[in-house]
Structure 1
Amino acid sequence: MELSEYPDSEMMMMRLADILAGQLKQALLANDRASLAVPGGTTPGPVFDNLCSVDLDWSRVDVMLTDERWVPESSDRSNTALLRRRLLVNRAAAARLIPLYADAATPEEKLEELAAGLEPCLPLSVVLLGMGTDMHTASIFPGADRLDHALNGDDLLVAMRAPGAPEPRITLSAKVLKDAFHRHIVIVGSQKRLALDDARELSAEEAPVSAFLKDCTVHWAET
């Protein structure tokens, strides 16, 4: 694991956007298309604000979430809606969104369909992950109902339910995330830094993020 520390989160988000853009450009030099997977939530929003205006051939980039809550885009909890507002705008509006939600009561009903849309984008060019203070990443939570399957199974997507998560989730599996050419984790604050330090000493079942720290760059700022 490589740890990059920054004086403040504003500088970190700008630098991280530059790094992601550079790796996407490299991928496009070698391939017809590139793929980018990103988290939802509030932390990566400033990265998106910087990345969306970068001059690259976004029409050849497939963008997806690392995980999604099983809610429609009309919900204020939809990460897809966040992605449309903050990343798939300006120059990045030309990118192709690979959905992780479809209209159904449960994610299990649409797993096969959504996985079929994801498969042509693999292996992923660049992955950006977040991390919770409980040491989850994507929607791979400690104590989740299909934790072992998400960490060790061969499926591309996994439907997950976890304590404290008010709705079902769908997540890229560890297999998909680990196979990415470039992997980054972005965290802010002293609590998450302590959680990261703890995760390095724990098993993936106790701290799922620990499964992704090898060959990964963690970007951290205290404020």
Structure 2
Amino acid sequence: MPSAQVCVWHVYPEAALLHQRAAQGIERLAAEAITARGAFRVVLAGGNTPCAVYERLHDIKTAWQSWHIYFGDERCLPAGHAERNSTMASQAWLAHVAIPATQIHVIPAELGAEEAARRYALSIESVEKFDLVLLGLGLDGHTASLFPGQNYGSDSCQPAVLAVHQSPKPPADRVSLSAWRLSEARSVWFLVQGKDKEAAVRKWRSGEEIPAVAIEPADGVDVWIDAAALGENTN
């Protein structure tokens, strides 16, 4: 079945400008959500590009006490492990701002994929829609921990949070929000940079069924991308 995903592509000549504009966009969305609903509920991604954006959020003007942080996926590693997404986000940003600790909802992946998925599904059960979901794009087209050839959880009859085994990237065991749950958001942004992503982006734009196309929010997705990842010459 052809993808129903609708994309808006925001192309920047260099990665640093992408990071700056994405951070400014997050500041704007947070202000709008807090004004409208009293809270800003954002799902974080792992990876180098999101990390660079997080590092720019330290000094934005916002009501941090109204932020609620969630994670799109996590590796099944000990709590505090350097390769966990939650550790990266804490070091790059969260440890430096005044978001209440009780509003940072970490996936307890150290408990194993099944138990962590079960508990995290309960943690997000009360959230009807996230205000913003941030996602990256892997070289193979994966996003969160939804990998080619595996179950994406595209149908809402499937679990909101998936236990992932046999990941092609170590560690083999992970936890991921399903495609349908990641799609339950007012805004979904992919953050993509670098020449090494060009092949995956080409597949995406040509209509190949890579995991990233399984994210289908009602209002479409925004792709924040640098010229190198799009295969454009910036000289």
TM-score above 0.5, yes or no? yes
Q: 2:107 aligns with which of 100, 120, 123?
A: 100
Are positions 1:10 and 2:16 aligned together?
Answer: yes
Judging changes above 3 Å, is the alpha-carbon distance between structure 1 residues 103 and 194 closer, same or farther for their aligned structure 2 residues?
A: closer
- Partner residue in 1 for 2:181: 176
- Cα pair 2:8 2:223 within 8 Å, conserved: yes
| Deviation, structure 1 residue 103 | 4.2
> Aligned equivalents of 2:107 and 2:214: distance in 1?
22
> Aligned equivalents of 1:165 and 1:122: distance in 2?
32
What is the letter of the counterpart of residue 84 of structure 2? S
How many residue pairs get aligned? The number is: 217
> Aligned equivalents of 1:114 and 1:212: distance in 2?
19
Q: 2:214 aligns with which of 195, 211, 214?
A: 211
Are positions 1:117 and 2:120 aligned together?
Answer: no
- Cα pair 1:17 1:51 within 8 Å, conserved: yes
Are positions 1:29 and 2:30 aligned together?
Answer: no
Deviant stretches of 4+, over 6 Å:
none
Are positions 1:132 and 2:145 aligned together?
Answer: no
| Deviation, structure 1 residue 29 | 1.0
Judging changes above 3 Å, is the alpha-carbon distance between structure 1 residues 213 and 112 closer, same or farther for their aligned structure 2 residues?
A: closer
What is the letter of the counterpart of residue 81 of structure 1? T
Percentage of pairs with the same residue: 25
Matches within 5 A, 1:41-56: 41-56=47-62
Q: Normalising to structure 1: TM-score of the pair? A: 0.89
Moved more, 170-179 or 210-219: 210-219
- Cα pair 2:73 2:145 within 8 Å, conserved: yes
| Deviation, structure 1 residue 41 | 2.0
Q: Unaligned regions of 5+ residues in structure 2, if any?
A: 1-6, 230-235
Judging changes above 3 Å, is the alpha-carbon distance between structure 1 residues 130 and 172 closer, same or farther for their aligned structure 2 residues?
A: same
- Cα pair 1:55 1:91 within 8 Å, conserved: no
| Deviation, structure 1 residue 213 | 6.4
Q: Normalising to structure 2: TM-score of the pair? A: 0.84
Q: Unaligned regions of 5+ residues in structure 1, if any?
A: none
What is the letter of the counterpart of residue 98 of structure 1? H
State the SS of the aligned residue for 2:91: helix
Moved more, 46-55 or 134-143: 46-55
> Aligned equivalents of 2:98 and 2:16: distance in 1?
21
